[in-house]
Chains A and B, each alone.
Chain A
Amino acid sequence: MAKEEEDLGFWGDARQTRVVKDLFSIPPPVKKLFDRVPVVTYPPNPLPQRGPKTSRVPSLYVFSNDVDAAAGRPSFNPSCLKWQTFLNIAGIDHRLISSNNHASPTGSLPFLLPAAQSSNVSQEFLPPIPSNKLVKYASEHGGRVKEPSNVRYEAYQSLLDHRIRNAWLYTLYLEPLNFSAVAYELYVSPTSSSALVRASISHTLRAAAEAELLKQSAVIDADDLYSEADKAFEALSTLLGDDLWFFGGDKPALFDASVFAYTQLLLDDGLGWKEKKLCMALRRRENLVLHRERLLVRYFGGS
């Protein structure tokens, strides 16, 4: 009907448009009636118990468990941990909510759900902020965001995004020992108690990791992946040198968070790594180990 209205407006003259519009607008007596109802309006229904309690601070949805999330402990997923650390560094107060990829508007975690400004939650809608817009969000909300400008920044970032990430994907999902000891406990067990569902999700996860690696090379060569990662750690170690933070900053920044996202998880003995090739490669770079400890103490209370 709306289409018809438009067409007439386009072909007919202005008066005809008005007539057609009048035809579809609510006649005054009916409008008067509509304005009178509902006669009684009560306060809203309460919300079901399972929903998260409303909060004054924004919520960062990450891979975690309820206990760790409430305590603000590091997430076990590198990209979640990167942005969690970034928000901590930027001084953006937030709470963590343990979640999974299905909850995200982009299909992957993390994302930030801004806090309602007023107490009246149902009246306004604040869109979720995906991870690639978090820097902008932080700078708009009084966060301390300082990005060093360095010509080689992109190159080092790509070391993390490709070489180290690929080795990470391999060691976590495709090393059978690590998959059953680490990935299964973190990503599969919490989804469901059903063995069939767990088997299906395990398969999906491993297939996705494999597909991701095959995107970049025709074959998956474990030794090659590990040696590339080893070289990448070496390069990062050289870049850091004796500085406290990367690129000679006086305070940590996003790049430090990106490195910490992997170093924290590879050096965390609590995860129970079984095949430790990648962990060993990192442990050999003492300045990276110390860098991780500095961030852990400063932003996560050393836990």
Chain B
Amino acid sequence: MASPSDAGDSLFESLTKVDPKKAEAQAKELEERLLAQNVKAQNRLRELIGSNSTLPVTINKVLLVGGGHTRRSFLDPIFNPLLSVNRDRPYTLGEALHEVGSVATKLERFGIFKEPISTFIDRPSQTDPSTTVTDIDVYIRAQERGRFSAKTGTDIGNAEGSAYGEVQLRNIFGGAESLNLNASAGTRTRSSYQAIFDTPVLSDPEKRITIDALASSTHKPWASHEEGLTGGGLKYSWATKSGMRHQLAYTGVWRQITGLGEKASPTVRNDAGDSVKSSITHTWLADRLNHPLLPSRGYLIKTVSEIAGWGPLKGDVGFLKSEIVTTGALPIPIPGIKGDSGVSLTAGLRSGFLLPLPVGFGGASQPSRINDRFILGGPTDVRGFKMGGLGPHDGSDSVGGDVYAAGSANLLVPFPRVGKDAPLRLQLFANAGRLLPLKDSKGKGKAEAGKSVQKDFYSTVSQLGDGLPSTAVGVGVVYAHPVARFELNFSLPLVMRRGEEGRKGLQFGVGINFL
């Protein structure tokens, strides 16, 4: 190969050899120029819209592009309010854009379209004699998600892991109705089969009706038995303007306490067998926490009220059951650290009661059964106690109670060096609880049974304050994984009742709802 001349070489080199610094500078310049252009374009648009935001417009036509399977009768209630015909006064451009945006978000909430949903505005052709000068056309481009999906995976719930298979049919009748078929097997729930049909009401994503059917079998080692459930329910959920969620549900379920362990206590043996619960439940939730698993600000209040067996509900069990769950979180400023220190205090309070009611119309009320009573204790509620470790115990079985109260205070501190942005905290906690059965006034004649239940209830509630509550303290590590919260704690139970099962030393907890 002939060697090229010197001059050619240097020219060639200067062409091929790219100075990395120069290239970087060039790329940067290009990027900056693009960015500047973008910003300028945006500003121009904003100015344009801003200066025209008071421009009167009328929406003449809304077009959904890509909604092949979705019913017109389902979409009409969503789009009709947009149309100027249905409004008593004209839009300004700003208002119109805002309304169109909120319709797009509403559509997204149905979960039948791929996100994001984009909107366009166009002027209708002036040749169309039916249009006026102020008319605009709205185009909403939404791509429907697949109507069928199937998946398998693993799931983590409160103190339980499971594997599941799921089939989902979306937008079945073109009105965002969905059917979800689900089968799972887990550590505690031995097997579970569920079918859920869900539909929005009147095209409102915040109002939903759900019909479900369930068959499951759950192992309950803290009370040496397995519980089989077969049943179904009807739920209506809605949200208020202020963001509070309500749900009203009817549930009818056949429960079977079976598969008793050899060491099952007489109390559990006594409750073995079948019972039907027919109940209406109302759930109210106000969630103002800034993070579902590791909150540092805000509060959550939830109440659950259930009435079973009473009047036309029938069934085999009758009771009124009510529960309130509250959580509050407060960031703690540390002098010397500007802004959010990452240190926070969370506190939780829970309490509930179960009051026996007569089944049907009249008659005497029956004492509560093990599958209706509360259990308390475990790594996700009163830490430092075993699962169901608090409250009445018959032998080694945790047989549950009718009245409870529990509270917890946790101080969360970011890890040194890891920083406050990592979902990792050190925690110092103290929690306490009390779980009691309804006091037995030794049956003073059936005639005053109704009255005596009430009296028993008040005396049981007053009993909650007898002595110190069962208490544990400890330190631990909290990790908020996107799926669930993990805790590893070193705990020491300080106050206990005989028969209650504390956990000295390490305790591992996985869950979503922690006390």
Contacts and interface: CB of A to CB of B under 8 A. Distances in A.
B267 A42 contact: no
B260 A102 contact: yes
A101 to B, nearest CB: 8
B437 A49 contact: yes
Given A39-B495, A127-B262, A47 B254 contact: no
Interface in A66-119: 97, 99-100, 102-105, 113
Interface string B239-269: 0000000000000001011101011111101
Contacts of A191: 273-274
Contact of A48 (B257, B399, B502): B399
Given A50-B271, A51-B399, A121-B395, A44 B502 contact: no
A105 B502 CA distance: 28
Interface in B495-509: 495-500, 502, 504-505
Contacts of A49: 367-368, 437-438, 440
B373 interface: yes
B436 interface: yes
B395 A113 contact: no
A121 B393 CA distance: 11
B391 interface: yes
Contacts of A52: 266-267, 270
Contact of A103 (B260, B436, B496, B504): B260
Interface in A207-258: none
A122 B402 contact: no
A25 interface: no
A132 B256 CA distance: 26
B288 interface: no
Nearest to B400: A48
B496 A128 contact: no
Interface in B74-129: none
Interface in B396-431: 396, 399-402
Contacts of B392: 44-48
A120 to B, nearest CB: 10
A196 B314 CA distance: 13
A29 interface: no
Interface in B157-216: none
Given A127-B262, A193-B316, A103 B494 contact: no
A86 to B, nearest CB: 21
B402 A42 contact: no
B515 interface: no
A40 B271 contact: no
A14 interface: no
Contacts of B314: 193-194
B270 A97 contact: yes
Given A41-B498, A125-B395, A193-B316, A46 B440 contact: yes
Interface stretch (A30-38, A266-274, A280-288): A30-38
Contacts of A45: 391-393, 401, 435-437, 497, 499-500
Nearest to A111: B269
A201 interface: yes
A100 B436 CA distance: 28
Range class of the B interface residue count: 35 or more
B256 A102 contact: yes
Point out which of B260, B262, B265, B274 has the most chain A C-beta atoms below 10 A from its C-beta.
B274
A61 B497 contact: no
B254 A194 contact: yes
A48 B267 contact: yes
Interface string B470-510: 00000000000000000000001111111110101100000
* A interface: dominant SS: loop
Majority secondary structure of chain B interface residues (helix, strand, loop or mixed)? loop
Contacts of B271: 50
A42 B502 CA distance: 13
A33 B492 contact: yes
Contacts of B394: 47, 51, 121-122
Nearest to A33: B492
B272 A103 contact: yes
Interface centre among A26, A52, A197, A200, by most chain B C-beta atoms within 10 angstroms, is A197
Nearest to B356: A49
B235 interface: no
A38 B473 CA distance: 11
B509 to A, nearest CB: 19
Given A37-B492, A46-B440, A192 B275 contact: yes
B315 interface: yes
B61 interface: no
B220 interface: no
A43 interface: yes
Interface in B361-405: 366-370, 373, 391-396, 399-402
A59 interface: yes
Nearest to B466: A42
A60 to B, nearest CB: 12
Contact of B269 (A47, A48, A61, A197): A61
Interface string B273-316: 11110000000000000000000000000000000000000111
A194 B315 contact: yes
B467 interface: yes
A40 B499 contact: no
B262 A100 contact: no
Contacts of A192: 254, 274-276, 316
A113 B399 CA distance: 18
Nearest to B390: A45
B439 interface: yes
B230 to A, nearest CB: 9
B322 to A, nearest CB: 18
B150 interface: no
A48 B401 contact: yes
8 contacts: A37-B492, A42-B496, A44-B497, A48-B267, A50-B367, A51-B267, A102-B273, A196-B254
Interface of B: 254, 256-258, 260, 262-267, 269-276, 314-316, 359, 366-370, 373, 391-396, 399-402, 435-440, 467-468, 492-500, 502, 504-505
Interface of A: 26, 30, 33-34, 37-52, 59, 61, 97, 99-100, 102-105, 113, 121-122, 125, 127-128, 191-194, 196-197, 200-201
Given A51-B267, A52-B267, A102-B258, 17 more contacts: A26-B505, A39-B494, A44-B499, A46-B439, A47-B399, A48-B438, A49-B438, A50-B369, A61-B269, A99-B270, A99-B273, A105-B262, A122-B395, A122-B499, A193-B314, A193-B359, A194-B315
Closest 9 CB pairs of A and B: A51-B267, A49-B367, A103-B272, A48-B437, A102-B272, A44-B499, A44-B498, A194-B276, A50-B367
